[in-house]
Amino acid sequence: MKYLITIIGPTAIGKTALSIKLAKQFNCEIISCDSRQFFKEMIIGTAVPSKEELSSAPHHFIQNKSIFENYTVGDFEREAIDKLDKLYKTNDYAILVGGSGLYVDAILKGFDSFPEIDPTVREEIISSYEKLGIGYLQQELERLDKAYFDTISNENPQTLQNPQRMMRFVEVCIGTGKPYSSFLNRKKNNRNFIPIIIGLEAERHEMYERINLRVDLMIQAGLVQEAKKLYPNKNLNALQTVGYRELFSYFDGDFSLDFAIEEIKKNTRRFAKRQMTWFKRTENAKWFDYKTDFEDILNYIKNSIS
């Protein structure tokens, strides 16, 4: 039997540290599903594990793409499942860790295939987009699939600014007459592993304190300088994320630096709240306070396996 020990929870809660301890315990490798950490140009602002942490256990899907590449959750699902298939040839265990709920779901559940759409539908949508802009696509998706629009707004708001993705969502809605979300997880995808899902949580004030501290440490580590290098490419989809957007506004002259930093903290706290809302819906997850003794978590996993 193969097991995928999955660690979920909000940003700055301690998922990386726990994943490394577990990888050492089970002598296995780690699959990262943090959609912000895929990109090699984004290091400080995405809280990429340190060199010491990365060397403590084999990691996959960290800084493996460029911000100039178009990388979708579907691409990640295919690549990650392929990697897991290879890992399971020599090991019964693997670790999945990350704060991107949509990407976690892609591995645990998968996404169904979509029906073919009449090409003329796409052409009409492109024409309307060229005339009316991204707002047209956003309004159409909200009208045609309010549930999925809200999901994106909470989990991956940068997707709302991606015309290719948005056109695809609207295309499916119009071409089938059904919500895009109705084609997601319609049936269970076959997986060759049993997930053991560990959630980490904290009292809200503790979680917010950890987030504020992390942002301060990022600034000390050179986040402003990192964002400055990325500023010429600020319109890329990968950079439409907390920690960079606020500093781009500072470079544009819209924010003072102090205000930009406070906005990063505020928006990260909001992001963490959305993450918890998403993850609390996860079936069969066992939740632990982030200060729980490692042995208690390990015993739960061992009991789940036995």
What single string gives the DSSP state of each residue in 32-67? E--TTTTBTT--GGGTPPPHHHHHHS-EESSS-B-T
The three-class DSSP label of residue 95 is strand
Q: Is 16 within any annotated ligand binding site?
A: yes
Q: Is 13 within any annotated ligand binding site?
A: yes
Q: Is 120 within any annotated ligand binding site?
A: no
- In the numeric block, which tokens belong to residue 272? 């963490």
CA 178 to chain centre: 26
Do the beta carbons of residue 58 and residue 46 sit within 8 Å?
A: no
Q: Is 12 within any annotated ligand binding site?
A: yes
Task: Give the closest residue to 73 by CA, choosing from 96, 103, 46.
Answer: 103
Q: Is 9 within any annotated ligand binding site?
A: yes
The three-class DSSP label of residue 234 is coil
Q: Is 15 within any annotated ligand binding site?
A: yes
Binding-site residues sit at: 9-16
Binding-site residues for ATP sit at: 9-16
Binding-site residues for substrate sit at: 11-16
